[in-house]
Structure 1
Amino acid sequence: MFSLNQRETANSDFLFLDIGPEDLQEAWQQSQKQSNAIARHNAYLNYVCLKNFLNWFAEESECEISVWPSFKRLANIWEIVNGSAIQLGQNRLVLIPNDDAEVEKLCVPQEWVDIPNWVADYYLAVSVVLDGDEDECFLKVWGFTTHRQLRNNGRYNESDRTYNLPIKYLTASLNVMQVTFGLNVQQQVPQLPSLSHAEATRLLEILGDPSLYSPRLRVDVPFEKWAALLDNDEWRQKLYDRRMGRLVEVASAAPVKNLGKWFQGIFEAGWQSLDTLINTESSNLAFGFRKRDRKREETKVSVEGIKLIDLGMQLGNQSVALLIGLTPESGEKVGIRVQLHPARGQIYLPPNIKLILLSQSGQVIHELQSRLQDNFIQLKRFTCPMGKGFKIQVAMEEMSITEDFAIEAFGNDNYE
């Protein structure tokens, strides 16, 4: 059972966690990643709350603990929505912080309740008390409710798109929550409508304006459309980038590349076959790939395309090479291998550069990040059926480049 840190209170079921000065400093640094004062305050409260809960759960629970969707993606959520999600084994908890020492109700943003991928099992009301000296700050957990209880018994407030439940209806002891782990406490919610790329682009232009402090409350944007935009990892990041004044989406509007044509030796602008590079270039890049080309028979790759990517002046004009290898398989499928290599005579990739595989809808499937002195990084090999597509993103700091690919018709005569 969870152990509770007791302060002077009439109800011994409440959980109290002390907040250290170092946590406040970290929270302030985290909050600077937001576009306006409201979002910075929201990020500050959420970071303090999340950090202390992660430390407490690590001591009290043997379950595997992680942040959903990931710690690095919290900034694009806190920019627009209050709350943090923790995956505790098979159970998801959403922490809803408030800076009032006394609260009357739990107010959960609709996103955490009605977006299927965001839904949690439990929702906790937390007061972040920062009125005293730095060494007297603490968290108070008023209790929890389940998704089913919140959706069935909570009052929906259309004006701020929240579900509200009076504090008196919460269960104070987290030990009771732990006893119910494994039970089905979620209420089924409708699936979101599909959002076309054109619709998403229009919404990003409207809602990406940083002067709009609460884009989630635009009355002319139905919640279902807003939720579909927010549920997409790529679009949510682009919304955040726009609000932060970052419009570095170098290839986001580029046409979809038909990889089927690569088997015919036809490459889109910016791309070329690896064979062409090796035969025409005398640079260190070509030499490095000429060396690895001897092993192509072992990997059974039929065709490889390469594109040089300039990381920009703010990153020291570094360049990397995106390499995609294709192998036709049975059932009109293509095996795909994606690698990222250093370019311009460099031996190692820049540290912390990301190579990301996205679905057609923009959901992250696989993500890698380079370490110090990585010669290259490679995504897990995957297959793509004819008629389907995927996206590859290269990202570093404020720069991101996304390439859209599809497997359209390719002739068997070209590789048999």
Structure 2
Amino acid sequence: MTAEHTIHTMARAARAALPVLAAAPTETKASAIRHASARIRARSAELLAANAQDISEGEEKGLTAALIDRLALDESRLEGLAKGLETVAALPDPVGEEIRHWTVENGLAFTRVRVPLGVIGIIYESRPGVTADAAALCLMSGNACLLRGGSEAAHSNKVLLDCMREGLLHAGLPEAAVQMVPAGDRTLVGAMLAAHGLIDIIVPRGGKGLVARVQRDARVPVLAHLDGINHLYIDAHADPEKAVAIAVNAKLRRPAVCGATETILLDEALAPETARAVLAALADAGCELRADEKARSLEPRAKAATPEDFDTEWLDKTASVATVSGITGAIAHVQAHSSGHTDAIVTEDESAAKAFLAAIDSAIVMHNASTQFADGGEFGFGAEIGIATGRLHARGPVALEGLTTYKTVVRGNGQVRP
């Protein structure tokens, strides 16, 4: 069986499930997700054993520390995953929501209504939690999904897929609503990208190479972000304690996630003791600093930055540091180097915060908060299917609303157009 035949067969089965999903009552979909959440808890020992096998094999293959971190599950992460599904199940159902209603002069009544996108292909690496998150979000928004996880998480993904399918069976929904494309065969990814008319949208979640390939080769619309080159600007009017705490958390809580800060911007007017405290706290915590000359004068452990450092997504315990001239200099630096994912300002000056938040056109902009909050769960969405940084359709954490489009229903009373 060719890769094209495999994907087409799976996609047609998924499309056949769409009418059932679109018509499914909210409680039916929610019941399926809640049951899947319960199964994740009930099978936690099995999941952890499968994940341990994935990690062991990944270490033998030489996976980086960042990829191992994304791959790893523990009791806490599993409980977070289960709670995330419960949150998704409790969210308002977007399908059928009336976005807008209006009537024109001739009496025609228009209603704009949310509808599912259709069949969604999700291509991802390492993170087994995506299997459950993506399946739950697609299901609640009335979409079918084809999941293609990486071979490095194959054992974990299999158990999670079983949990999701147990939920579907429990609620009487078609199993074809959630399918797993076999890992290990790269031609299957190519077949997914070429399945125009069968797959409605592709969402890649993974490294730069994967996302770049998807964006380059896809004949299907893509919802994605390529890099997470995120900035944290510490303004001259920043609270010193907030500046230190936010900088350390934003960079080092989990350096490998796409919401991690990669560049620290220090206002040249910032009190030297505050700037020194921020840099020392990062260096003390094991962060390698690549800094400009002024920042190096405050922290002797910092190395000299190259121009390329400010366009690098480190995904590790490394941060670029630049000194900028006020809010204008900070905005200029971010606009020149940001990937449009998440950028933040630390300041007690409301006018500076307002200027930064208005000028920076990233998918997520923050004031006095860690960029590590760039996550669907932290936004109250329960989970996310990915972070989108484009300007079409959805931006930021993509959850239920981002997995819908709309149609316009027109009601008349015999009107004909002159």
Shorter-chain TM-score range? under 0.3
Provide the TM-score with structure 2 as the length reference. Answer: 0.25
Q: Max radius of gyration: which structure? A: 1
Question: Which is bigger in relative contact order (C-alpha 8 A, separation at least 6)?
Answer: 2
> Which structure is higher in helix share?
2
